Amino acid sequence: MTDLFATLEAHATAVRLKAYAPYSRFQVGAALVTEDGQIFAGCNVENAAYPEGTCAEAGAIAAMVAAGGSRKIQTIMVAGKGPAPCLPCGGCRQKIREFATPATRVQVVNEEGQLLFEETLHALLPASFGPENLDQDA
Ligand code: THU
C-alpha cells in the first residue's frame, strides 16, 4: 500500500462517519487528490425532499473547486458500506469527468478501508461528453 492510498483511505473513511444520511442510512465518504497533491474530502448530505440530497463525491469536488488550486483529479476514493463496492453513480461519474484526465483513477473501499475496486474514470464512463466539447467556436 502506498502512502497516498493510506492518506486517501484515512480521509475517506473518517469523513464517511460525518455523513448526513438519515433516510438511506448509507453513509458515504469520498476523498480525492489533485495533480498538485492537495487532498479534499466530502460526505453525502441527504434531504427530507429526497432528490435534493448530494453525494459524497460532489462534496469533495466542491471543496476542491472552492480551494482554488489545481482542479485536475489524480485519484478519487469512495468509502461505502457493506460488501458491494460503492461505485460512483452515473451523475457523479460525469461530475468527476469534468475534472478528470485519461489517467484519473477511481478507488472504492469498504468501512474498514479495504480496497474493493479500482479503475480509471475513463473505464467507468467511456465515450463521454466533456469540457472540450464546449471549447469550440459556435
Ligand atoms: N451515494 C454517494 O454519496 N456516493 C455514491 O457513490 C453512491 C451513493 C449516496 C447517495 C445517497 O445519500 C446514499 O448514498 C444512498 O444512495
pTM: 0.96
List the chain pLDDT tens, one digit each, 138 residues: 469 999 999 999 999 999 999 999 999 999 999 999 999 999 999 999 999 999 999 999 999 999 999 999 999 999 999 999 999 999 999 999 999 999 999 999 999 999 999 999 999 999 999 999 998 766
What is residue 33's DSSP assignment?
E
121: phi then psi, degrees, rounded to nearest 5:
-60, -35
Please check whether residue 66 lies inside any domain of the structure: yes
**Owning domain of residue 106:** 3-125
Cβ of residue 58 lying under 6 Å from some atom of ligand 1: no
Please check whether residue 106 lies inside any domain of the structure: yes
**Which residue is closest in CA terms to ligand 1's atom 14?**
26
Cβ of residue 88 lying under 6 Å from some atom of ligand 1: yes
Helices (H) and strands (E) in the chain, counts: 4, 5
Helix 90-98 vs helix 56-67: crossing angle, to nearest 10: 20
Closest CA to 26 of 8, 50, 6: 50
Residue 92 marked in a binding site: yes
Domain count, the chain: 1
**Which residue is closest in CA terms to ligand 1's atom 9?**
55
Which strand (E) or helix (H) includes residue 97? helix 90-98
